Amino acid sequence: MRARRYLVLLVSIVLGCSSRSPTWSGSDAEAGADGKLSTGGSSGHGGSSSTSDAASVSDTAGVGDTPGGSTGSGGTTGAGGTVSTGGTTGGTTAAGGKIGAGGTTGTGGTNSAGGVGGVGGTGGAADADTRTDGSSVLPGWVLTWSDEFDGADGSAVDPTKWVHDVGGTGWGNQELEYYTDGTQNAVVTGGNLVITATTAGASSYKCSYPSSGACQYTSARLLTQNRFTQQYGRIEARIQIPEGQGLWPAFWMLGADIATNGWPNCGEIDIMENIGKEPSINHGSLHMPAAGTSNDDDLTGSYALPGNAKLGDDFHTYAVEWSAAAIKFYVDGNLYETQKPSAATGRTWEFDHPFFILLNVAVGGQWPGAPDLTTSFPQTMKVDWVRVYEPADGG
E runs forming strands in 241-377: 247-255, 268-273, 281-289, 296-304, 316-322, 327-331, 334-339, 355-363
Band of the pLDDT at 20, cuts 50, 70, 90? Answer: very low
Half-sphere exposure at residue 171, Cβ-oriented, CA atoms within 13 angstroms: 32
What pLDDT score does 177 carry? 98
Is a pLDDT exceeding 50 seen at residue 51?
no
- Active site residues per annotation: 268, 273
By the 8 A CB rule, do 300 and 69 touch? Answer: yes
In this predicted model, what pLDDT tens digit does every residue of 262-305 receive, in sequence order?
A: 999 999 999 999 999 999 999 999 999 999 899 999 999 999 99
Exposure pattern of 299-318 as b/e (b: 16+ CB <10 Å)?
A: bbbbbbbeeeeebbeebbbb
Is a pLDDT exceeding 90 seen at residue 124?
no
Cα gap 364→174, rounded to integer Å: 7
| Preceding peptide of 22 cis, ω within 30° | no
Is a pLDDT exceeding 80 seen at residue 6?
no
CA dihedral of 63, 250, 66, 340, whole degrees rounded to 10: 90
CB-count burial class (<10 Å; 0-12, 13-18, 19+) for 357: buried
Cα gap 97→317, rounded to integer Å: 10
% of the chain with per-residue pLDDT over 70: 66
Comparing C-alpha atoms, which of 359, 385, 388 is closest to residue 186? 359
Q: Which amino acid is at 158?
A: D
In this predicted model, what pLDDT tens digit does every residue of 206-235 receive, in sequence order?
A: 999 999 999 999 999 999 999 999 999 999
The domain segmentation of the chain, as residue ranges, is 141-391
What pLDDT score does 390 carry? 97
Cβ within 8 Å of residue 104, ≥6 positions away: 89, 90, 91, 126, 130, 137, 139
The pTM (predicted TM-score) of the whole model is 0.74
Cα gap 235→145, rounded to integer Å: 9
User: Helix, strand, coil proportions of the chain in percent (round to 5)?
Assistant: 5, 35, 60
By the 8 A CB rule, do 250 and 272 touch? Answer: yes
Q: Helix count (H) and strand count (E) of the chain?
A: 1, 19
DSSP string covering 118-157: SS--BS-PPPTTB-SSSS---TTEEEEEEE---S-TTBPP
Cα 217 from chain centre: 21
Strand 233-240 versus strand 221-223 pairing type: unpaired
Lowest mean per-residue pLDDT among 101-105, 260-264, 279-283, 391-395: 101-105
Band of the pLDDT at 33, cuts 50, 70, 90? Answer: very low
Q: What residues are paired with 388 via a beta bridge?
A: 145, 235
CATH 1.10.579.10 for the 141-391 domain, yes or no: no
In this predicted model, what pLDDT tens digit does every residue of 58-91 receive, in sequence order?
A: 333 333 333 333 333 333 333 333 333 333 333 3
Cβ neighbours, 10 Å, residue 113: 11
Comparing C-alpha atoms, which of 48, 345, 71, 321 is closest to residue 179? 48
CA dihedral of 219, 355, 274, 138, whole degrees rounded to 10: -110
